[in-house]
């Protein structure tokens, strides 16, 4: 990731160069969609959230502070959109959306084990999940994660530690069950 | 740097395994929606502010503006322009009425201090007479 280049593209977009923002969209659309799928009930919701994120990013581009990474800023918008969509989705009866529509269940190639992010989604609160996601999927430093989720640095460090510990326990339980089932045939 | 353990590796692999391909239809939809949007120009952005602060063109523009302001100030006349006053009212222009005054020269026969004491004594006599005749205290 090239921070300077992102900033140059933002400056170009503000100067009226539409192609510059198009390049930022190219750069971030899949990363954002991957994240938004983890926070949405179905692929369609994630796509709507991606569209809203990019529109809002473009509309409020003048408020971007180049002191921070562009990825931090745009993730902040995406997190807000995901939360907004979750609020709207909560008003839709769960029966209308089949459990099999969960993006994490449908997008992950069927394997022998469950995708760990699906486990994380079940076990962790949203902010803790997002902190882990930004750490592992985006390689963000803790300061940027804290800024993205609008939390303090100590909170973020503790959240990362606790999230990892819960997932490690869940992994250990799964492995124990698997070994038991293998032992008993 | 800490070596990645099994959990770290699995979290990274599983994140990468999530299919996040943006379909051409979705990209078209995004492009179409972006065409209807312009960056808000209301709040001055950080980039814009910094451009004014750092840009050489911004500095030149500032110098030019200051020069223009100086030129305008120097071209102003030193004497203030005449202000047209409202006409003087007619009653002010008329000469004041003449009051007939009778002036008598004081015939001083004593030094001023003695004359003053005599005048004060006369005033005191008059005051006592008035108080007595009118029955009031002055």
How far apart, in whole angstroms, are the C-alpha atoms of residue B117 and residue B121? 6
**B39/A58 CB distance under 8 A:** yes
Interface test with A, best of B6, B17, B20 (most A CBs within 10 A): B20
**A66/B50 CB distance under 8 A:** yes
| pLDDT tens, position by position, A21-47 | 999 999 999 999 999 999 888 889 999
Q: Which pLDDT value is given to residue B24?
A: 92
**Quick count: other Cβ atoms within 10 Å of Cβ A107?**
19
How far apart, in whole angstroms, are the C-alpha atoms of residue A21 and residue A55? 11
Phi, psi of A166 (to 5 degrees): -65, -40
| pLDDT tens, position by position, A130-185 | 999 999 999 999 999 999 999 999 999 999 999 999 999 998 888 787 777 666 65
- Note the pTM of the prediction, 2 decimals: 0.63
| pLDDT tens, position by position, B26-50 | 999 999 998 888 887 754 445 544 4
Q: Which residue carries 């804290």 as its tokens?
A: A146
**A62/B41 CB distance under 8 A:** yes
**B15/A25 CB distance under 8 A:** no
How far apart, in whole angstroms, are the C-alpha atoms of residue B17 and residue B26? 20
Report the complex ipTM. 0.81
Check residue B121 and report its DSSP letter: H
Interface test with B, best of A34, A67, A130, A160 (most B CBs within 10 A): A34
Phi, psi of A119 (to 5 degrees): -65, -45
CA distance B80 to chain A (A): 47
């Amino acid at each position: 990731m090239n921070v300077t280049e992102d900033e140059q593209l933002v400056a170009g977009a503000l100067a009226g160069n539409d192609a510059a923002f198009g390049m930022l969209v190219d750069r971030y659309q899949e990363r954002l969609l991957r994240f938004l799928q983890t926070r949405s009930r179905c692929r369609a919701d994630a796509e709507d959230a991606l569209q809203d994120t990019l529109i809002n990013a473009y509309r409020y581009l003048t408020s971007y502070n180049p002191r921070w990474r562009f990825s931090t800023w745009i993730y902040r918008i995406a997190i807000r959109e995901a939360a907004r969509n979750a609020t709207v989705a909560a008003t839709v009866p769960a029966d209308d959306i089949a459990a099999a529509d969960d993006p994490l269940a449908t997008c992950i190639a069927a394997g022998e084990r469950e995708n760990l992010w699906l486990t994380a989604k079940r076990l962790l609160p949203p902010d803790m999940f997002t902190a882990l996601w930004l750490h592992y999927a985006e390689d963000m430093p803790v300061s940027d994660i804290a800024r993205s989720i609008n939390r303090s640095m100590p909170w973020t460090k503790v959240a990362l530690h606790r999230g990892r510990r819960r997932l490690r326990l869940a992994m250990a339980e799964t492995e124990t069950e698997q070994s038991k089932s293998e032992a008993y045939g | 740097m800490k070596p990645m353990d099994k959990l770290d590796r699995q979290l990274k692999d599983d994140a990468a395994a999530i299919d996040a391909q943006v379909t051409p239809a979705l990209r078209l939809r995004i492009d179409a929606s972006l065409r209807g949007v312009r960056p808000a120009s209301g709040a001055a952005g950080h980039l814009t502010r910094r451009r004014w602060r750092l840009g050489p063109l911004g500095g030149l523009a500032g110098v030019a503006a200051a020069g223009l302001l100086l030129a305008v100030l120097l071209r102003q006349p030193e004497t203030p322009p005449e202000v047209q006053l409202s006409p003087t009212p007619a009653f002010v222009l008329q000469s004041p009425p003449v009051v007939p005054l009778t002036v008598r020269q004081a015939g001083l026969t004593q030094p001023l201090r003695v004359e003053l004491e005599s005048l004060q004594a006369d005033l005191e006599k008059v005051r006592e007479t008035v108080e007595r005749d009118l029955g009031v205290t002055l």
